[in-house]
Amino acid sequence: MKPILQALVVADHVYQDVTGKKIIAGTFNRILFKKNEPRGKRPEDPSDRGPGNEGPSDRGSDDKGTGNGSSDDRGTGDSDSRDRKGHRVPGGMHSGSPYAYISLTDVVDGTELTLQFVNLNKNVVLFQTDLIVRSEDRLKTIEIVAPLPPLPITEEGVYAFEVVWQGVTLGSHRILGQEMPDPGAKE
């Protein structure tokens, strides 16, 4: 049975309050970048860590995303993505690392999904992460919060996060990459 994607939102941060509600802060669909400053390539700086932005060695073994459905009532997925060459790309560890909020229904226990970031101009997957979703009841709404690495946008164009199930794109969230104007440039 094909899952139904109810929402895919990319934001600066996604919080969970004491009642379990998700609070999505700083949604966006455009990123400004400087031409000579590559995004998503800098090494981890421990000073960038803040509450909720622990490094991989600081995470418990069960920190695989949040949501509803598994034995502890959470959807699961790797919090580390893979670039197109298969190299590990840690997510949610730097200031500027966004989060994806995914809401699904009609999910059968053990459903495998892929969240991928694609350069649509070149039709190239820049990174992806596989998610295994746990669900006791396919009629429940499953919420997944996936920490992402800084987005590797180095040229102008249209990019997208896509949720893929068995090779079928369930939905996408497009992001426009635009070069930041040089304030010192003469026109």
pLDDT digits (tens, 9 = 90+) for 135-159: 999 999 999 999 999 999 999 999 9
Structural domain contains residue 157: yes
In a domain, residue 186? The reply is no
Number of H helices, E strands in the chain: 0, 11
**Is residue 72 scored above 50 in pLDDT?**
no
Q: What is the mean pLDDT of residues 155-168?
A: 97
State residue 187's pLDDT score. 59
φ/ψ bin of 65: left (φ > 0), alpha (ψ from -120 to 50), beta (otherwise): left
111-119 and 157-165 strand pairing: antiparallel
Is residue 132 included in any domain, yes or no? Answer: yes
| Number of folded domains that form the chain | 1
Backbone angles phi, psi at 60, to 5 degrees: -75, 160
- C-alpha–C-alpha distance, residues 128 and 146, integer Å: 11
Q: Is residue 136 part of a domain?
A: yes
Note whether residue 119 is domain-resident: yes
**Domain that includes residue 38, residue range:** 4-179
* Of the candidate ranges 9-13, 51-55, 57-61, the one whose mean pLDDT is the lowest: 57-61
Share of the chain above pLDDT 90, in %: 60
pTM (predicted TM-score): 0.70
30 half-sphere exposure, CB direction, 13 A CA radius: 4
> Is there a domain that residue 187 lies in?
no
- Whether 103 is in a domain gets the answer yes
- 58 in a structural domain: yes
